[in-house]
Structure 1
């Protein structure tokens, strides 16, 4: 990618709603590979693969690292929320029950989780060998 190429800026909600599954397919990855307990054994694709596939793989890897780095405390169960919503395909109601919060409180926690994910994702994107292709940004109101 050229140094002066424009970086796509998308909201984290759009990233998950429109791009995440596509990137996973292009990279040939499964949700299991991105689980926090598995991300340390994630091996990036090598130069035998097309650049498009390697870039998708890099974005997928950064997503997994961002999930893994999010807080997972009793009052901030961000990692659990993100992993269960986006990797384990649980509904918001199922995750809210799992973490023990009401729907309204869960909505707030999910917004906070997405905000933390955004920061961590952008950190990992900046530390990759490819020029950043995507920069996530927080939306004023994100829900899924």
Structure 2
């Protein structure tokens, strides 16, 4: 890639709302493969696959690794929030009840979870030498 190539910067909200499902489809992956308990078994696609498919697969893998690396403490249940919202397709209300927080407090926690995800996703993108093609950035207002 040319040194002056632009980095695609997308908000984490847009990533999940517009691109995540498309990338999963292109890579031929299922949500189950990205669950934290399964990510260590994830096998990257080899060179027999088209570059577009391998790139989608790499982004999907980085997403799974970022989910897996997020904190999951009582006061910071970020992994649970992200996995349930984006892999298990639960609503915000369902996840808020599951983690035991009010709707307003859950909104703040989800913002914090997305911020942590963004940092970890960008780390894994760089780790996979996929940079500078794409970089996630946190939006001021995230919701789903």
Give the TM bin, normalised by the shorter chain: over 0.9
> Does the CA-based 8 Å contact 1:84-1:95 persist in structure 2?
yes
> Does the CA-based 8 Å contact 1:3-1:131 persist in structure 2?
no
Pair 1:112–1:131, CA change in 2 (3 A)? closer
CA distance in 1, matches of 2:6, 2:43: 28
Deviations 1:26-60 (A, max 9, x none): 00000000000000000000000000000000000
* SS of residue matched to 2:88: coil
Number of aligned residue pairs: give it. Answer: 144
CA distance in 1, matches of 2:20, 2:78: 18
Deviations 1:11-37 (A, max 9, x none): 000000000000000000000000000
CA distance in 2, matches of 1:71, 1:130: 24
Deviations 1:49-94 (A, max 9, x none): 0000000000000000000000000000000000000000000000
Please state how far the C-alpha of 1:4 moved relative to its aligned partner.
Answer: 2.9
Which stretch shifts more, 51-60 or 121-130? 121-130
Match of 2:133 in 1: 133
TM-score by length of 2: 0.97
> Does the CA-based 8 Å contact 2:16-2:86 persist in structure 1?
yes
CA distance in 2, matches of 1:7, 1:141: 22
1:1-144 counterparts in 2 under 5 A?
1-144=1-144
What is the RMSD computed on CA atoms of the aligned residues?
Answer: 0.9
Please state how far the C-alpha of 1:3 moved relative to its aligned partner.
Answer: 3.7
> Does the CA-based 8 Å contact 1:24-1:56 persist in structure 2?
yes
> Does the CA-based 8 Å contact 2:6-2:132 persist in structure 1?
no
**Unpaired runs of at least 5, structure 2:** none
CA distance in 2, matches of 1:74, 1:25: 33
CA distance in 2, matches of 1:81, 1:39: 17
**Unpaired runs of at least 5, structure 1:** none
Displaced runs of 4 or more, over 4 A: none
